[in-house]
Amino acid sequence: MDNSSSPSETAGKPIICKAAVCRGPGDPLVIEEIEVAPPRAWEVRIKILCTALCHSDVTFWKLNKAPLSVFPRIFGHEAVGVVESVGENVEEVKSGDTVLPVFLPNCGECRDCKRKKGNACSEIDTVMHHVMPRDGSSRFKDRNGEVIHHFLFVSSFSEYTVVDVSVVVKISPQIPVDKACLLSCGVTTGVGSAWKVADVEEGSTVAIFGLGAVGLAVAEGARLRGVSKIIGVDVNPSKFEKGKIYGLTDFINPENCGEKRVSQVIKELTGDGADYCFECVGMASLVEEAFESTRVGGSTIVIGVDLHGTPLKLSCFDLLMGRSVKGSFFGGVKPKLDIPLLAQKYIDKELNLDGFVTHEVSFQDINKAFDYLMQGKSIRCIIWINP
């Protein structure tokens, strides 16, 4: 029974619905009929309203390297949905609630969740995200009864998905669905990196390497804190105009620097280096450039995912004199505590979420979202699943 209007009709039963399945690295997704099992204990089955493509989906989609890549798989991890039914022991959400599934668990009970600092959750093993975390099995089957793997605990490229309650964030239904979706990954990562990981202060100077959705969200977060300079670095000149909406004051195109390195240009613009440099692309060499671009005592925040595991080389002396390098996982945000706060800031008209969504497609056209992103045309493309 797909697209059921009354969740109680499907509760406890498998749901047959459509999903965009990936059967091989880099292969176009195929819309197939799948079966979604009911939620077990501590699980929530969600009807996905819309989802967006994040570059991390693309990175994993292209990857052909066990054990990180498994096929067939349902990608997607930035989404908003409505709870269809819940398994035993789930009390914090119920059918009908508007929720964001997120890729970072937040059980709220473990030592790390209780610590004020940081956002690790030691309850759930984040490495094994291709299956349900508590029992290691999948809730998806294709028409032949074969297992389809999960992705980042979310798998939002499906009309219905099942997630662990530790990754479900309840949010206000007041926030428009296409804006809410952004808060389940990209924008929260960017704003959180500026506020929680870097903790940028008024009057400081910021440089952002890579002006995709995350980089622009860093700019928005920095703007809200009253930062005095926001320098955007990107090879795509159209990102400058876009970035200005979020407070960008200067723009550097690395291809137009001539003999100079980007770090030199940043030093010239800031009188010796930026207080905070954010790497939002995912290349060790760019992190090193960002580090070079900081002033004495400056901080480099690493957000982009470099899956090659290329080592970073840093100067001990520069670190000794007070510089730092900080990794940002989901913007240092504790999802269940911090995302509702961001949603409220949007509702209160402080946080600007306009302009992130540049394209929209139907579920059938999901592969266009990949094209738009890889061609550098989009910031965020929303895929309407259950509009």
Binding site for other proteins (CB under 8 A): 112, 115-120, 122, 199, 201, 204, 275, 284, 287, 296-297, 302, 305-307, 309-329, 332
Identify which of residues 321 and 341 has a Cβ nearer to other proteins in the complex: 321
> Would you call 191 helix, strand, or coil by DSSP?
helix
* Torsion angle of the four alpha carbons 272, 198, 101, 243, in this order, in degrees rounded to the nearest 10: -30
- Number of Cβ atoms within 10 Å of the Cβ of 260: 14
Strand arrangement, sheet containing 30-36: 15-21, 30-36, 140-141, 147-148
Identify which of residues 150 and 196 has a Cβ nearer to other proteins in the complex: 196
Q: How far is the CB of 169 from other proteins (least distance, A)?
A: 18
Identify which of residues 164 and 279 has a Cβ nearer to other proteins in the complex: 279
Identify which of residues 324 and 386 has a Cβ nearer to other proteins in the complex: 324
Q: How far is the CB of 359 from other proteins (least distance, A)?
A: 27
At residue 361, what are phi and psi to the nearest 5 degrees?
A: -140, 165
Identify which of residues 286 and 369 has a Cβ nearer to other proteins in the complex: 286
8 Å CB contact between 303 and 185: no
- Strands annotated E in 235-273: 250-252
8 Å CB contact between 231 and 204: no
Q: How far is the CB of 144 from other proteins (least distance, A)?
A: 35
Q: Please name the helix (run of DSSP H) or strand (run of DSSP E) that holds residue 286, with its range, or none.
A: helix 284-292
Q: How far is the CB of 9 from other proteins (least distance, A)?
A: 41
Q: How far is the CB of 68 from other proteins (least distance, A)?
A: 10
Q: How far is the CB of 56 from other proteins (least distance, A)?
A: 11
Identify which of residues 127 and 348 has a Cβ nearer to other proteins in the complex: 127
What are the tokens at 317? Answer: 């002396």
Bridge partner list, 359: 381
Tracing tokens 């990794």 back to the chain, one arrives at 327
Q: How far apart (Å, rounded) are the C-alpha atoms in residues 93 and 83?
A: 8
DSSP string, 115-149: SSS----TTS-TT-TTS-TTT---SEE-TTS-EEB
Identify which of residues 91 and 320 has a Cβ nearer to other proteins in the complex: 320
Q: How far is the CB of 287 from other proteins (least distance, A)?
A: 7
Identify which of residues 159 and 306 has a Cβ nearer to other proteins in the complex: 306
> Would you call 87 helix, strand, or coil by DSSP?
coil
Q: How far is the CB of 211 from other proteins (least distance, A)?
A: 20
